[in-house]
Amino acid sequence: MSKEQGMQLEKENLKRELQDRHIQLIAIGGIIGIGLFLGSASSIKMAGPGLIVSYALGGLIMFCVMRMLGEIGVEYPVSSSFTGYAREFYGPKIAFITGWTYWYMWATIAMCEISGAGIYMKFWWPDISQWMVALVCLIVFTGTNLIAVKLYGEFEFWFALIKVVTIIAMLICGGAIILFGVGNGGVAVGISNLWTHGGFFAKGISGVVMALVMVTFAYSGCEMIGITAGEAANPEVTLKSAINKVFWRILIFYCGSIFVILAIYPWTEIGKIGSPFVLVFKRMGLDGAASVMNGVMLTSALSCLNSGIYTCGRMIYGLGLRKEGPAWMAKLNAGQVPVNGILFTMAVVAIGVVMNYFLPGKVFDIISSVVSTGCLWSWGIIALIHLKWRKSLSPERLVNLKFPLPASPYLNWVVLFYVALVCVGMTMNPGDRLALYVFPIWILILLISYKVFNIEEKTKVISPEAKKMEW
């Protein structure tokens, strides 16, 4: 069987119980998080109104990545997603690095989220132990992920829905202030704040580039839509629908939110007078805005934690099936959920609980600084996989693809250029350089492990569960 006919990937036994509404909200929930709610203030300081351009550019790149993954995923839906595809087109070593790096990225994000949950809870109960909140959240959401994928989908659907409703409410309130002067004595605010405080590009193009680091972190998680392919009830329909709808909704939510905030308040004041989202609600006269938004941000953290445990479990499952990890990682429980992958992830994320005990004031900044490099690696690999995937197909297959990406291979090179541009942006900000130092060490650890545990030889013999499949 040639590459045009099929790829040597795992035969999976995961339940296909995720519906279109689940997948759309899973994708939205994985992307909308602290990068928007908390990271927007620091990004505005960095880029000024030009941040709108940063989010628009990052959103377009995100859409390209999702469409590349979607083109392959619709044809061949597996929960290992691009890590499985990497094995076919770039060999076991790159697949090993990619799989473990994506797991590492989401495990690190999960540590951030349990830390964030502890911080948010202290808003209402200042004396509560941050580490205890982190531990409870980790145990509860590990439990929901172990029961059944459908339960996970329901949790994520409602958590993500809360975030979406909040952002829509903020956009409506902001629009009323801008157009009709609601909360401003009936005087329409307009949008002049976008250019009257040093110009639209007040921080120059360098500010826009530097802000791309936080933008990339904010958009990280869009790859989850490929992970859900292995458990989608009807991948061809649900993936295509979810990818197209999610792009526009995410772009409107992110760019729209930043636009409203910067139109109402001078960008020079953002960060000095409270959370940007709280400011909009306060302008409408909602005195309880701070408490409500804290609740939304707590929900956001729990949503991303839920997504992180889900994704890590599926990554570990795929690694176990392909013998890029111990065989016990590929075990499913009675509900056909990758139980060992989830429990292993829980054990690693528990390191974050320990850090919350010893370093409650610093843990979030320490962990979050190294997340974005994992996202850049994933996006770059997806673009490269898609290039090789296209080259492996005959002209007849190309014209008959169910979900083709327009303008390929040009868009692939645009994504790779973006990855390089964000890396340049990271060198420009001392706070982001730590990630560039840590990531090569992580890769070195993986390369040593690959050699020591003789992964290449092990993956030459495919397990009985991993059979060649025809499309």
Question: Could you give the CA distance from residue 371 to residue 102 in angstroms, rounded to a whole number?
Answer: 10
What pLDDT sits at residue 411? 96
Single pTM value for the model: 0.84
What length does the chain have? 471
Cα distances (Å, whole numbers) of residue 162 to 33, 156, 187, 320: 12, 10, 31, 35
Instruction: Please count the helices (runs of H) and the strands (runs of E) in the chain.
Output: 19, 2
* Percent of the chain's residues with pLDDT above 90: 29
Rounded Cα distance between 285 and 277, Å, is: 13
pLDDT greater than 90 at residue 418: yes
297 confidence band (pLDDT: 50, 70, 90): confident
Average per-residue pLDDT for the chain: 81
**462 vs 116: CA distance, rounded Å:** 41
Q: Identify the three-state secondary structure at position 232.
A: strand
220 pLDDT higher than 70: yes
pLDDT, mean of residues 170-184: 89
Confidence of residue 23 (pLDDT cuts 50, 70, 90): low
DSSP 323: T
pLDDT on residue 32? 72
| 382 vs 82: CA distance, rounded Å | 6
The 10 Å CB-count burial string (b at 16+, else e) for 315-353 is bbbbbbbbbbbeeebbebeeebbbbbbbbbbbeebbebb
Give the closest residue to 73 by CA, choosing from 319, 389, 462, 376.
389
Pick the range with the lowest mean pLDDT from 61-70, 368-377, 401-410. 368-377
Q: Across residues 176-198, what is the average pLDDT?
A: 91
Which 3 state secondary structure label does DSSP give 470? strand
Residue 471 has pLDDT above 50, yes or no: no
User: pLDDT per residue over 233-277, tens digit each?
Assistant: 566 677 777 777 777 777 788 899 999 999 998 999 886 655 677
Task: Give the pLDDT of residue 73.
Answer: 82
Q: How far apart, in whole angstroms, are the C-alpha atoms of residue 66 and residue 382? A: 9
Residue 78: pLDDT band (50, 70, 90) is low
Q: What is the pLDDT at residue 260?
A: 92
Out of 170-179, 240-249, 293-302, 407-416, which region has the weakest mean confidence (pLDDT)?
Answer: 240-249
| pLDDT score for 391 | 92
Residue % of the chain over a pLDDT of 70: 82
Between the CA of residue 230 and those of 15, 238, 331, what are the distances in Å? Answer: 8, 12, 16
pLDDT range class, residue 80, cuts 50, 70, 90? low
